[in-house]
Amino acid sequence: MNIVVAVDLSPASELVVEAARGVAELTGVSVYILHTVETEADFICPDDSPEARRAKVAKAFPLEQGRVQALADKLVDDGLDAEALLVCGSGVDATLQEADILDAGLIVVGTHGHGAVYDVLIGSYSVSIIRKSRLPVLVVPVREANKAATPDV
C-alpha cells in the first residue's frame, strides 16, 4: 500500500503532508506527494509511459516541480520513503488515475472549507475525490494555514 497526498501548493500543503507523515510513520508505507497541472490536450502523448509523462511535465513546470519536491524532501530527510510527482490532467481524475497506478491504499487531501455556496459554484476538489474514489480518503482541514501564508510551499 502507498499513500497519495494531493497538494495544491498553497501554504496549507504542509499541513496535509504532515497528516500523511503520521500515517507513514505508523505504517511504513511509501508517500507520493502529488500535484496536478492543466495542460493543452496535445501536451502528452497517450502512448507515453506514466514515468515518461511525469518527466515531461516536471521539465515543463520546473517551479511547481521544485515546490512538490521540497515537500517530499522533508519526508525523505526524516527517513521516510517519499517521492514528488507532478502530473497533468483534470485534478480529480488525474489524482485518482495516479492513485491506481501507484497502488495506493489511501488518498490524503486538504479542505479549505470555503462553504456550500463556493462548492456549488466552483466545485470542491476534496468532495469530488471523496465521491469518486474507491479508496479511503483522509481529509485534513486547513483553513487556518492559508491565513499564515509561507512563501516557500
What tens digit of pLDDT does each residue of 3-52 get? 999 999 999 899 999 999 999 999 999 999 999 998 776 676 666 787 88
Please, which pLDDT band fits residue 123 given cuts at 50, 70 and 90? very low
Instruction: Report d(CA 32, CA 20) in Å as an integer.
Output: 10
The grid cell for 91 is 485534478
Over 60: is that where the pLDDT of 116 sits? no
Between 27 and 89, the higher pLDDT residue: 27
To 10 degrees, what angle do helices 125-132 and 91-101 make? 40
Q: Give CA–CA dist 126/25, Å, rounded.
A: 24
**pTM more than 0.75:** yes
Question: Per-domain residue ranges for the chain?
Answer: 2-147
Under 8 Å between Cβ of 74 and 61: no
Q: What is the pLDDT of residue 117?
A: 46
Task: Give the right CATH number for 2-147 from 1.10.3720.10, 3.40.47.10, 3.30.43.10, 3.40.50.620.
Answer: 3.40.50.620
CB 55 within 8 A of CB 83: no
C-alpha distances out from residue 152 to 11, 13, 64, 75, Å: 8, 11, 11, 16
Give the pLDDT score at 152.
Answer: 46
